[in-house]
Amino acid sequence: MSFASDARAPADSLFRRNLRAFAANRLAFGSAIVVLIFVVMAVFAPWIAPHDPAATDLFRRLQPPAWMEGGDWAFPLGCDALGRDILSRIIYGARISIFIGVAVILVATVVGILAGLAAGYLRGWVDIVISRIVDILLGFPYLIFAIGLMAMMGPGLANIILVMAYKEWVIPCRVVRGETLAVRELEYVEAARAVGASDRHIMLREILPNILSPVLVVATIRMADVIILEAALSFLGLGVQPPTASWGAMVADGRAFILESWWVSTFPGVAILLLVLAINVASQGLRDAFDPRFSE
Amino acid sequence: MSRPLLQVRGLRTVFDTRAGRVCAVDGVDVTVEPGECLGVVGESGSGKSVTFASVMGLIRPPGRIEAGEILFDGVDLRQLSRRQMQAVRGRDIAMTMQDALTALNPALTVGTQIAEMLEAHDDELPRGGPARARAIRARAVEMLGLVGIPSPDDRLKQYPHEFSGGMRQRIMIAIALASKPRLLIADEPTTALDVTIQAQVLELIDDIRARLGMSVVLITHDLGVVAQHCDRVIVMYAGQVVEEGPTAAVIGSPRHPYTRGLLASIPRPALRGQPIRPIEGQVPELIDLPPQCRFHARCPEAGPDCLRPIEMRRVGPGRQVRCIRTPAEAGP
Amino acid sequence: MTGALLQVEGLSKTYVGRMSLVGRLLGRRPTAVRAVSDVSLDIERGEILGLIGESGCGKSTLGRAILRLHEPSAGRVTFDGTDVTALSPAAMTAMRRRMQIIFQDPYASLNPRRTVADIVGLPLQLHGLASGRAAQRETVAEMLEKVGLKAGQIDRYPHQFSGGQRQRIGIARALISRPDFVVCDEPVSALDVSIQAQIIQLLQDLKREFALTYLFISHDISVIGYLADRVAVMYLGEIVEQGPVEAVLSRPRHPYTQSLLSAVPKVEATARTDRVRLTGDLPSPLNPPSGCKFHTRCPLAIDICRRSAPHRETVGQGHDAACHRLHEGLSITDGGSAA
């Protein structure tokens, strides 16, 4: 029952109200700060990292973290099998993870929005073609497909991004299509047509701003998955090639010594866990604040 | 006259919102006599629905009843426990909502919903066993027949979405009436319906009221509905009662400028070509209202002396008005 | 008739349901709903034609089909000598400047993410009616004042206005391109009584100021009776009676019009006894009755009504109705008591 009378909304934009609701959720807000720390780390890596991430020093091979016997505070998290500083490599690795995550999501979201808007608004054969492609891509065992594709195209930053975006756009596309189907029936869309607006105007100016919230929420949720997938590909040696530091490859490098030198694999693993968890919690908070349909 | 069936005194219901304290109902007095039909008229934000949601004990946080007495047959409903209130609600007082589609449970058949109501409130049913089940079924069929649903036997098995809007409104009335309440509160029972269907539903309510001898509160924004179906009417504005009296008298010679404005606002074929005189402006926001006449900003007769608390005054037999411009006890 | 600004001839709108692949393979026919069927009417320049009917009768669809917001399935719409139904998409877009619509729901019809300046300015921008942003803002501000809003509210969002004010924004959007013809689709139905009166007054004032012609769609006979010059009554996609508003309201000839009129609760104290009660609900348009579509609810129905559909016949000056028993001079009140 909606007895709470229609106390008129204060002069305040919807966006700012949502942002305030988000800030009020402490866990999500804290997580967002953790994500922010990772981003700062990635951006300012050359100034923050204590050592060159590629500099090898065989004398420090498998040196343990600082607090253990044989450790050294100059290399707080120890060194890997080639004597490279693990902390510096994690800091630089954040660059790769976050860059690839952002790039893939950006490409996928732009493609997904355009395809989803076209399918949802224009309907007809456009919708049939796009929806079938989406169904086919969703039906594929993706990891096997990605491995095959990477093997074919060869490793490299651009290729990784392409291979991941290749399927990732399907997710925002489905969200956008569904939202568009609902919004296109609203009267203000008809009103825009009634004054003579073009399909392009209606899709980009009338519909898109109203469906952006769920798309942003989905993008952040998917960001975590993309980061994990990148780590998995790097772990399998199909990702960014050495000597560039990547968390997934670092975990893979440490596999051989996991029993005696656990820190080589563990710290990059913890970095992946921390970033992915923080993104997930923060995106959940975003979802609650910006898309109240999902929350109670 | 005997004791009133429902007597609400000084009811104040507030909602605490981020923007401030919204006083949706502020010092409302309502009396419903046994067997009468009381019309409650007002626009959105007038507090008419909140008043009766308060009577039914349906106000949930952030809303709360801040002051007042709600006497039903002499018992103050505000003093009852939640359990006791549940027993009153449904058995003694029933309420129908404006939107029958959302008020009915879409997952249960109509028969089940009527049966649940009977299970909970009907004490005359046989105790346990197949006799009870048979009696419930018979009563459910009887109720659907009473509200004019053809072949009620078959339709008991159907779900709400299988009925048309008018039929659903009837079903809601049937559910409300299943326990033979002494007071039926009908909140905008016909607003969502077409005129031809509206006429059917209102006549049904009239008819059942006469047969069961219950009292009806008809909450509506339509003065035409009130004119044709209610004995007495109260007019509400911005959380207060502004005028009260016998329907014919209030509509025939409205004493409050708001009632007058409301009547003048209704477009009538008879007034073709003449400009209508709408009430200018809008209903004030109910947040932190100063203690003064709430209509004065829109009132053509307002003066500086209206900027103080205005009390209801008797202006004739059974008539009260919240306006200082109206002469007291005017005329016969 | 000459001099009509808008002529509608044989207009129909059929919605065809989507077919599943299985259904198609089994050779099933798709479900079709004939929302508007073979409607003809004229609207004179400067008049208000009231279109009345209950929900689901197709009156809103008719308004949208005239504007080609929903593409008509058959028939022709001629606007000021131009066959609108034959226009190319580009020409139709240009024509929209002159044919506008005001919507019922002041909440759904305004995009919540755009400011008043964007919403009301859009027609100017699309039709190149303002030279530059500053000029556009100025025109919008003037229009806002004309519909009773303040120019200073131009940068606000729809949620910052009340229902009545939002309806004013919708009116400003419809009128800013200086159209000749406006479809008013239940523009006051969602509003409170006192606000409703303000908007009706505003629509009348603006009609005079801009020399407008309205198709005024409503379910409220009082509003139509007050505003319209002529009225057309719709039932299940067809026009069953039309004529000058005084004639139709004082001497309704079709039993449906009669029942509609008698069902309206009037404020003036009237005897309740002369009211006719229509039995039953509106039939489903998916499966309309045979013959005269009203026969399932009509107290006057006889055999022929079930078999053949009546044609519209003239019953007075510009007044026609479609009923088999038109010339028996029956009124539903007599028939009802006889039955």
> What confidence tens digit (pLDDT) does each residue in A193-216 have?
998 899 999 999 899 988 888 888
**Per-residue pLDDT tens over the stretch A16-63:** 777 777 777 788 888 888 889 888 888 888 888 787 877 777 777 777
With 80 as the cut, is the pLDDT of residue A69 above it?
no
Q: Is residue B218 part of a domain?
A: yes
With 60 as the cut, is the pLDDT of residue B1 above it?
no
Contacts of C123 in chain A (CB under 8 A): 195-196
Among C8-22, C161-175, C188-202, which stretch is predicted with the lowest mean pLDDT? C8-22
Which among B200, B248, B265 has CB closest to C269?
B248
Which among C193, C266, C281 has CB closest to B262?
C193
Chain B residue with Cα closest to C53: B194
Segment C288-306 shows an average pLDDT of 87
B301 and B196 share one domain:
yes
**Per-residue pLDDT tens over the stretch C221-269:** 889 999 999 999 999 899 999 999 999 998 899 999 998 888 887 776 5
**Per-residue pLDDT tens over the stretch B145-201:** 777 777 788 888 888 888 877 788 888 888 888 777 899 999 888 776 777 778 878
Which among B45, B49, B97 has CB closest to A6?
B45
With 90 as the cut, is the pLDDT of residue A166 above it?
no
The tally of CA atoms less than 13 A away on the side-chain side of residue A135 is 6
Phi/psi at C220 (5° precision): -105, 110
- pLDDT score for A296: 33
With 70 as the cut, is the pLDDT of residue A153 above it?
yes
User: Helix or strand or coil: residue B75?
Assistant: strand
C208–chain B nearest CA distance, Å: 13
Percent of all residues in chain B with a pLDDT value above 90, rounded to a whole number = 23
- pLDDT score for A294: 45
With 80 as the cut, is the pLDDT of residue C116 above it?
yes
Q: A111 to each of A106, A156, A211, C32, how far by Cα in Å?
A: 9, 22, 15, 36
Q: Is residue B310 part of a domain?
A: yes
Contacts of B59 in chain A (CB under 8 A): 3
B199 and B62 share one domain:
yes
> Is the complex ipTM more than 0.90?
no
Chain-centre distance of CA C205, in angstroms?
20
Phi/psi at C44 (5° precision): -75, 155
Pick from B168, B143, B141, B160: which is nearest to B152 by CA?
Answer: B141
**Per-residue pLDDT tens over the stretch C69-107:** 999 999 999 999 999 999 999 999 999 999 999 998 888
B131 and B267 share one domain:
no
Task: Return the ∠ at Cα A99 (arms to A93 and A105), rounded to 5°.
Answer: 135
With 50 as the cut, is the pLDDT of residue A139 above it?
yes
Which of B11, B49, B188 best tests the A interface by mutation, with the highest count of A CBs <10 A? B49
- Confidence class of residue A6 from pLDDT cuts 50, 70 and 90? very low
Interface of A with C in 62-121 (CB under 8 A): none
Domain ranges across chain A: 32-49+57-290
Contacts of C194 in chain B (CB under 8 A): 43, 261-262, 265, 278-279
Contacts of B195 in chain C (CB under 8 A): 54, 219, 221, 260, 263-264
Label each residue of chain C as H, E or C: CCCEEEEEEEEEEEEECCCCHHHHHCCCCCCEEEEEEEEEEEEECCCEEEEECCCCCCHHHHHHHHCCCCCCCEEEEEECCEEHHHCCHHHHHHHCCCEEEECCCCCCCCCCCCCHHHHHHHHHHHCCCCCHHHHHHHHHHHHHHHCCCCHHHCCCCHHHCCHHHHHHHHHHHHHCCCCCEEEEECCCCCCCHHHHHHHHHHHHHHHHHHCCEEEEEECCHHHHHHHCCEEEEEECCEEEEEEEHHHHHHCCCCHHHHHHHHHCCCCCCCCCCCCCCCCCCCCCCCCCCCCCCCCCCCCCCCHHHHHCCCCEEEEECCEEEECCCHHHCCCHHHHHHHC
List of chains touching B (3+ CB pairs within 8 A)? A, C
Give the domain-ending residue among B180, B211, B242.
Answer: B180
- pLDDT score for B328: 57
Among A80-89, B63-72, C102-111, C314-323, which stretch is predicted with the lowest mean pLDDT? A80-89
Q: Is residue B327 part of a domain?
A: no
Give the domain-ending residue among B180, B198, B216.
Answer: B180
CB-based contact A1 B17, cutoff 8 Å: no
Strand order in the sheet with C32-44: C32-44, C4-16, C74-79, C82-83
- Could you give the CA distance from residue B217 to residue B205 in angstroms, rounded to a whole number? 11
Among B196-200, C129-133, C150-154, C322-326, which stretch is predicted with the lowest mean pLDDT? B196-200
Q: Are B314 and B328 in contact (CB under 8 A)?
A: yes
Segment B34-63 shows an average pLDDT of 89
Task: Return the ∠ at Cα B8 (arms to B20 and B249), rounded to 5°.
Answer: 105
Q: C45 to each of B12, C83, C213, how far by Cα in Å?
A: 54, 17, 6
Pick from A96, A99, A78: which is nearest to A87 by CA?
Answer: A78
Q: C30 to each of A57, C286, C288, C290, how far by Cα in Å?
A: 76, 11, 16, 20
Interface of C with A in 176-235 (CB under 8 A): 177
Interface of C with B (CB under 8 A): 54-55, 162, 164-165, 192-198, 200-201, 204, 219, 221-223, 225-227, 245, 249, 259-260, 262-270, 272, 275, 277-278, 281-282
CB-based contact A194 C96, cutoff 8 Å: yes
- Could you give the CA distance from residue C241 to residue A294 in angstroms, rounded to a whole number? 49
User: Helix or strand or coil: residue B69?
Assistant: strand
List of residues 6+ apart from B16 with CB closer than 8 A? B22, B62, B63, B64
Which among C197, C227, C266 has CB closest to B227?
C266
Q: What six digits make up the tokens of C82?
A: 């131009």
List of chains touching A (3+ CB pairs within 8 A)? B, C
- Could you give the CA distance from residue C224 to residue C309 in angstroms, rounded to a whole number? 27
Q: What is the largest CA-CA distance in chain B?
A: 71
Interface of B with A in 230-259 (CB under 8 A): none
The DSSP-derived string for B235-262 is EEETTEEEEEEEHHHHHHS--SHHHHHH
CB-based contact B17 A7, cutoff 8 Å: yes
- pLDDT score for A2: 38
- Confidence class of residue C44 from pLDDT cuts 50, 70 and 90? very high
B239 and B215 share one domain:
yes
Segment A171-177 shows an average pLDDT of 93
- Could you give the CA distance from residue A40 to residue B32 in angstroms, rounded to a whole number? 69
Chain A residue with Cα closest to B54: A3
With 60 as the cut, is the pLDDT of residue C167 above it?
yes
With 60 as the cut, is the pLDDT of residue C271 above it?
no
Chain B residue with Cα closest to A6: B45
B10 and B155 share one domain:
no
Q: Is residue B121 part of a domain?
A: yes
A14–chain B nearest CA distance, Å: 15
With 90 as the cut, is the pLDDT of residue B82 above it?
no
Q: What's the distance, Cα to Cα, between the start and end of chain B in Å?
A: 22
Pick from A204, A261, A224, A248: which is nearest to A68 by CA?
Answer: A261
C18 vs B229, higher pLDDT = B229
Contacts of C266 in chain B (CB under 8 A): 224, 227-228
Question: Looking at the 3D structure of chain B, how many domains does it have?
Answer: 2
Interface of C with A in 107-146 (CB under 8 A): 108-114, 122-123, 126-127
Domain of B265 in residue numbering reads as 6-92+182-321
B209 and B316 share one domain:
yes
Segment B60-82 shows an average pLDDT of 89
Segment B211-233 shows an average pLDDT of 90
Phi/psi at B7 (5° precision): -135, 115
Chain B residue with Cα closest to A5: B45
Mean pLDDT score of chain B, rounded to an integer?
A: 85
CB-based contact B199 C263, cutoff 8 Å: yes
Q: Are A85 and A79 in contact (CB under 8 A)?
A: yes
Q: Is residue B168 part of a domain?
A: yes
- Confidence class of residue C181 from pLDDT cuts 50, 70 and 90? very high
B224 and B258 share one domain:
yes
Mean pLDDT score of chain A, rounded to an integer?
A: 82
B83 and B195 share one domain:
yes
Going by the DSSP 8-state scheme, the letter that residue B271 receives in this structure is: G
B254 and B159 share one domain:
no
Chain A residue with Cα closest to C124: A195
Pairing label, strands C238-244, C319-322: antiparallel
Q: Which domains does chain C have, with CATH numbers?
A: 4-98+177-241 (3.40.50.300)
Q: Is residue B330 part of a domain?
A: no
Going by the DSSP 8-state scheme, the letter that residue A79 receives in this structure is: B
B86 and B221 share one domain:
yes
Q: C275 to each of B247, C18, C270, C271, how far by Cα in Å?
A: 20, 43, 10, 8
- pLDDT score for A150: 81
- Confidence class of residue A13 from pLDDT cuts 50, 70 and 90? low
Which among A3, A5, A10 has CB closest to B286?
A5
With 50 as the cut, is the pLDDT of residue C26 above it?
yes
Q: Any chain C CB within 8 A of the CB of A198?
A: yes
Q: What's the distance, Cα to Cα, between the start and end of chain C in Å?
A: 41
Strand order in the sheet with B63-72: B20-32, B6-17, B63-72, B75-76
List of chains touching C (3+ CB pairs within 8 A)? A, B
Q: What is the topology classification, in CATH, of domain A32-49+57-290?
A: MetI-like fold (1.10.3720)
Q: Any chain C CB within 8 A of the CB of B257?
A: no
Residue B24 sits in a domain of what CATH number? 3.40.50.300
B259 and B298 share one domain:
yes
- Confidence class of residue C270 from pLDDT cuts 50, 70 and 90? low
Pick from A170, A166, A160: which is nearest to A246 by CA?
Answer: A160
Which among C113, C160, C177 has CB closest to A209?
C113
- pLDDT score for C277: 65
Chain-centre distance of CA C328, in angstroms?
31
- pLDDT score for A9: 41
Q: Is residue B328 part of a domain?
A: no
Which among C69, C93, C114 has CB closest to A190?
C69
**Per-residue pLDDT tens over the stretch C59-72:** 999 999 999 999 99
B146 and B117 share one domain:
yes
CB-based contact A10 B19, cutoff 8 Å: yes
Going by the DSSP 8-state scheme, the letter that residue A85 receives in this structure is: B
With 60 as the cut, is the pLDDT of residue C147 above it?
yes
The residue assigned the tokens 């103080």 is B308
A69 vs B108, higher pLDDT = B108
Contacts of A190 in chain C (CB under 8 A): 64, 69, 103, 109
Among A236-250, B21-35, C203-217, which stretch is predicted with the lowest mean pLDDT? A236-250
Which among B47, B62, B97 has CB closest to A4?
B62
